[in-house]
Amino acid sequence: MELIGFNKPYFTGKETDYIRQAVESGHISGNGIFTKKCHEFFNKNYGFNKCLLTTSCTDALEMSAILTDIKPGDEVIMPSFTFVSTALAFVRQGAKIVFIDSRADQPNIDEEAIEKLITPKTKAVVVVHYAGVACNMDFFIELSQKYKLWLIEDAAQAIDSFYTNKVGKKIPLGSMGHLACFSFHETKNIQCGEGGMLVINHEAFKKRAEIIWEKGTNRAAFWRGEVDKYGWVDMGSSFLPSDIIAAFLYAQIENIGNIQKKRIEIWNTYFNKLKPLEEKGFIRLPFIPDFATNNGHLFYIICKNTDKRDALIRFAKQHNIWPVFHYISLHKSPFYTNLHDGRELEWADIYSNTLLRLPLYYELGKNEIQRVVKMIFDFFANN
Ligand SMILES: *Cc1c(COP(=O)(O)O)cnc(C)c1O
């Protein structure tokens, strides 16, 4: 039986053509033709009026921490059930991370828990749209206004996903926080190996973001003819990717409709076929609130306990299928556990211990999906 891996990066076939074009244009450093094409695409399709490609989502998060001027001792609230970069970017600026629990019905932030964690030192809230499913953004926007906090969306998994606000307007994820960070890592819906993007929605950040992006210089303004020489004017780093990376990414985003359609189809197949196991109480399936869309980023099941989940992983591997668990709660991670304030975060731990991600990638065929589904049914027939 052939191996069904957890992820298999998809190539549209145009990537090498565009890379060749980038090479032939003679400009392969950052902010070249393909970078601009990518920016225009995101602007036109999602209304991201200022966006900057970065070398990763981690970098976009680091830019966010610099832009919001996070200083030692500042507190930043974020879920514990997230990827390490969400926290790391702010820890680098000296922030104290205040981890918050996940909801009982799905892994996004538990809104009810947040208000009592806000102190005079709180500077920012980072929401993570887990599995591309929107957080309750009306709530977080009001909260950030009430307490004057920066609101940052970790939209790493959330490309082409939407939130319907309280007046019924459908808004792309990534356009509601002051800043939003996307990932184009190989494991994400559209990808360029390693890559990301910062979306700047707060007017006052727009100029400065460009400077931080290009090593603290006003080079971008210089090329537009707005200043007559460029130099070192601020903090920054080299956050911009080579135009070769942007060329690769452009081939992917041109195909985004196709990619999304396929991923959502796979997601729906899993959901419908596994429904009987949920009805019998063996597992829980993903829950998507009415205000959120599903972008087919990842499909997870939640097992009753860690033993079941780990036994299922072993059983899958015997059948040459490689599902994976996801995050280990960050408040329990070796690097941060001594810095955490000791609060129990029950649901973050439950998701760490019982959530299982099934193989989901563009080229996953009907027979392979059927094999994964059958394997899960076989497991629960005896467990
Ligand atoms: C993938 C991911 C990241 C990191 O993205 P990179 O592009 O690999 O830096 C950050 N946050 C979340 C929630 C992610 O899923």
- Give tens-digit pLDDT for 280-291: 999 999 999 999
The Cα–Cα gap between 317 and 342 comes to: 36
Q: How many whole angstroms from 231 Cα to the centroid of ligand 1? A: 32
- Specify the residue with its C-alpha closest to ligand 1, atom 2: 156
- Give tens-digit pLDDT for 64-99: 999 999 999 999 999 999 999 999 999 999 999 999
- Write the DSSP string, 29-58: SBSSHHHHHHHHHHHHHH---SEEEES-HH
Instruction: State the number of CA atoms in the 13 A half-sphere of 349 facing the CB.
Output: 6
- Give tens-digit pLDDT for 180-226: 999 999 999 999 999 999 999 999 999 999 999 999 999 989 988 99
Is the CB of 64 inside a 6 Å radius of any atom of ligand 1? no
CB atoms within 10 A of CB 228: 6
Res. 228: pLDDT tops 90: no
Read off the DSSP letter of residue 176: S
CB atoms within 10 A of CB 87: 24
pLDDT at residue 316, as a whole number: 97
Report the nearest atom of ligand 1 relative to the CA of 184: 7
User: Are 128 and 82 within 8 A, CB to CB?
Assistant: yes
Q: What is the pTM of this model?
A: 0.97
Place of tokens 């009415």: 290
Place of tokens 């070796």: 334
Query: Quick one: which of 274, 225, 244, 286 has its CA closest to 373?
Result: 274
Read off the DSSP letter of residue 359: P
Query: Quick one: which of 182, 66, 165 has its CA closest to 124?
Result: 66
Is the CB of 196 inside a 6 Å radius of any atom of ligand 1? yes
Give the 3-state secondary structure percentages of the chain, helix then strand then coil, rounded to 5.
40, 15, 45
pLDDT at residue 1, as a whole number: 84
Amino acid at 180: A
